[in-house]
Amino acid sequence: MIIDNPKLREKTAVFKDRSHAGSVLARMLKDYSGTDAVVLAIPAGGVPVAAVIAKELRLPVAVTVVSKITFPWNTEAGFGAVAFDGTMQLNERLVQMVEMNDVARQLQTDQTRRKVQARVERFGAVARIGNLRKKTAILVDDGVASGFTIKVAAVAVRAKGPAGIIIAVPTGHRQALEELAGDVDIVYCANVRGGYSFAVASAYENWYDVSEEEAIGILKQIKG
């Protein structure tokens, strides 16, 4: 199931920034206010969004570290992802399309594993998810393009035994969201868009890459 805002469909520049996007999502998620749900931010860009949701809904927040496995020749594109607990999945169809050899694939995968472990260590206490058994996990990022990274995050989170998994993102590509909806209980996305030229950044008036230092600072502040 996908729940969106019909008034925001196919529109761009609908959010001032990530904090504004978080407020919009918090209103969509109001039924979870004060429940046993846990907000899980995907760093670094998902942290400012998740922090606002957690604050407005009075929910705890933690970090779900996950990173895409990028191509050697293009660090913006990925062919798989690795999560905080070592969960790893490859987009086999994409790997076959680009005819990547086993050595290059293993090199990129190992590099990503190290990157994820280092990020878990940097985030430290604020990254600890804790006990999710019989709780609702709300996975939050600043947007979904292909959806593969957040899909792997959901697989890792499911291993912790939550009562349900929800994905909440400000903006997302329709096809990716439809595929994700089959893997989790509900997908909340305020701004659903289609087309070939989708970019997460297009949903924001003020867009920049969030640093790990900024993300950690935000989490420390909200945790008091």
Consecutive sets of 10 residues in the chain, 224 residues long: mean pLDDT of each?
Answer: 97 98 98 95 96 96 92 76 90 73 84 92 80 94 93 95 97 96 97 93 96 92 74
Which CATH number does the domain housing residue 38 bear? 3.40.50.2020
Query: Which domain range does residue 103 map to?
Result: 68-122
The predicted pLDDT at position 46 comes to: 97
- pLDDT at residue 113, rounded to an integer: 94
Classify the C-alpha dihedral 77-90-4-59 as positive or negative: negative
Q: Are the C-beta atoms of residues 56 and 168 closer than 8 Å to each other? A: no
Based on the domain organization, do 116 and 139 belong to the same domain? Answer: no
Q: Does residue 51 share a domain with residue 107?
A: no
49 and 137 belong to one structural domain: yes
Task: Let me know whether 158 and 56 are in one domain.
Answer: yes
Domain count for the chain = 2
Residue 177 and residue 101 share a domain:
no
Q: Which helix (H) or strand (E) holds 88?
A: strand 88-90
Cα-flanking dihedrals φ and ψ of residue 145, to 5°? -100, -75
Q: Is 191 exposed, middle or buried (0-12, 13-18, 19+ CB in 10 A)?
A: buried
- What's the confidence (pLDDT) of residue 29? 98
Give the per-residue pLDDT at 20.
98
Q: From CA 45, how far away is CA 47, in angstroms rounded?
A: 6
Q: What is the pLDDT of residue 189?
A: 98
Asked if residue 111 and residue 15 are part of one domain, the reply reads: no
What confidence score (pLDDT) does residue 196 get?
87
pLDDT at residue 159, as a whole number? 93
Q: Helix %, strand %, coil % for the chain, to 5?
A: 45, 25, 30
Same domain for 73 and 113, yes or no, is yes
Does residue 86 sit in the same domain as residue 111? yes
Co-location of 146 and 97 in the same domain: no
- Residue 217's H or E segment, with its range, is helix 212-223
pTM above 0.85, yes or no: yes
149 with 208, same domain? yes
Query: Contact, 63 vs 126, CB < 8 A?
Result: yes
Query: Phi, psi (5° rounding) for residue 170?
Result: -65, -40
Instruction: Please name the residues in contact with 118: beta carbons below 8 A apart, sequence gap of 6 or more.
Output: none
Q: How confident is the model at residue 224, as a pLDDT?
A: 58
Q: Are residues 186 and 144 in the same domain?
A: yes
Shared domain check, 133 and 214: yes
